[in-house]
Structure 1
Amino acid sequence: MCQLLGMNCNVPTDVTFSFTGFAQRGGKTDHHSDGWGIAFFEGKGLRHFVDHQAAVESPVAELIRRYPIKSKNVIAHIRKATQGVVSLQNCHPFVRELWGRYWVFAHNGDLKDFRPRLHSHFRPVGDTDSEHAFCWIMQELAKSHANVPSIQELTLTLKDLAIRLSCCGTFNFLLSNGSALWSHASTSLYYIERRHP
């Protein structure tokens, strides 16, 4: 399965150190070599980079390692394909717009035979269970809230949706709209909390 890196900070923070170590797991210190990606918010804007090459071999990953990334919310993903071919369109994180904001999603897990009925404007480009899950989440958020909900309301809705998706298989994810970062683990959740001295 894939690996996830998420960062949520109260001030724009440098992610280069964490990303450099994380990227090594994409083909050097681990066998996750089916693509990678990173998305980071700058205000309401978003920078999004993906590549179907292993992170340790990717010239795009090298660019990111040298780029002075400072952001409050970052999501990175290293892929080990369980569903969908190794291709650019299947690399996480995925991005969609809802309520005039970018939303970023990355998934670790395997949702067996998960192909929900998608009847809104959220459609997958690739053929992964992950992107189908993201489109379904965005669709259900839009159906559940006519206007922009509070972080607390979003958290309650996402908790319900995550429980429903976890019934389909392993479902670990990171999701951000630039204001908050949500994580869910149907397996074990590991995190590091760093504080300024």
Structure 2
Amino acid sequence: MCQLLGMNCNVPTDICFSFEGFAKRGGKTDDHRDGWGIAFFEGKGCRIFLDAKPSIFSPVADFVRHYPIHSTHVIAHIRKATQGEVILENCHPFRRELWGRYWVFAHNGDLKDFHPKDFNFYQPVGNTDSEKAFCLILERLRECFPQNKPPKEKLYSILGEITQTLAEKGTFNYLLSDGEHFFAHCSTKLSYIVRQAPFAAAHLIDQDMTVDFSELTTPSDRVAVIATTPLTDNEVWTPILPGELLVFQDGLPHKFP
């Protein structure tokens, strides 16, 4: 299946180090060769880079690796297709508008016998189970809150209900963000690490590369990195429990009753 990478932080930060290792999994250290994508929120704007080529061979991925785009919300995905052809419209992350903000979604998993037909406002462009699930999530949120975005506690509650229903169809690990809140749901496998003072050096698993974050940060910086499997081998990553939905804000995870 696919792999996910996300970042949420309290100050705009680049994801070049994490993406350096993550991109290697798209054809070099792993077999996720069916396309990739990454989204960066900047205020209410959102840059998305997609390519149906494996990330290890993609000139677009090479550009992203060397371009330090600073953001507080980033979602990336490398694809190993289970449903849908290897074409651009099936590459994650997917983007739609809701409540005057862009929403971005990426999924790792496989929803079995999942053929929803009741799309109203949001329509899938490609033919993946992932994009269909994203459209259904936004349809439901729009139905519950037609005018404005609700407080995050209410949003979390409804999103949790929708997620539980979709997770009954199969494996449903995902990352979802609108540039204000960053949601991460674990169905089978997802971990995170929070980097904050005192910062230390980190070494990538997929490439012999080390960065000393104490040289690149200020004492008040805080960065959460979320990934399907840990990206570094000298840091302690926290597994998200199966069935758990977390919302990250300013680099810290939260869970509501």
Structure 2: any 5+ residue segments left out of the alignment? 199-257
| Counterpart mapping for 1:76-95 below 5 A | 76-95=76-95
* Secondary structure, counterpart of 1:162 in structure 2: helix
User: Could you tell me which amino acid in structure 1 is paired with residue 66 of structure 2?
Assistant: R
Rounded Cα–Cα distance in structure 2 between residues aligned with 1:102 and 1:118: 22
Which residue of structure 2 lines up, in the alignment, with residue 96 of structure 1? 96
* 8 Å Cα contact 1:35-1:91 kept in structure 2: yes
Which residue of structure 1 lines up, in the alignment, with residue 35 of structure 2? 35
Q: Given the alignment of the two structures, is residue 118 of structure 1 paired with residue 118 of structure 2, yes or no?
A: yes
Rounded Cα–Cα distance in structure 1 between residues aligned with 2:63 and 2:83: 28
Rounded Cα–Cα distance in structure 1 between residues aligned with 2:142 and 2:117: 15
- TM-score if structure 2 supplies the norm length? 0.75
| Counterpart mapping for 1:24-173 below 5 A | 24-146=24-146, 147-173=148-174
* 8 Å Cα contact 1:118-1:135 kept in structure 2: no
The alpha-carbon deviation at position 189 of structure 1 amounts to: 2.4
The alpha-carbon deviation at position 173 of structure 1 amounts to: 0.3
* Secondary structure, counterpart of 2:106 in structure 1: strand
The alpha-carbon deviation at position 188 of structure 1 amounts to: 2.7
Q: Deviations over 1:7-29 (max 9, x none)?
A: 11111111111111100110011
* Secondary structure, counterpart of 1:121 in structure 2: coil
- Percentage of pairs with the same residue: 62
* Secondary structure, counterpart of 1:62 in structure 2: helix
The alpha-carbon deviation at position 49 of structure 1 amounts to: 0.6
Structure 1: any 5+ residue segments left out of the alignment? none
* Secondary structure, counterpart of 2:40 in structure 1: strand
Which residue of structure 2 lines up, in the alignment, with residue 181 of structure 1? 182
Bigger radius of gyration, 1 or 2?
2
Instruction: Flag as ranges the 4+ runs of structure 1 deviating above 3 A.
Output: none
User: Could you tell me which amino acid in structure 2 is paired with residue 126 of structure 1?
Assistant: G
* Secondary structure, counterpart of 1:134 in structure 2: helix
- TM-score if structure 1 supplies the norm length? 0.97
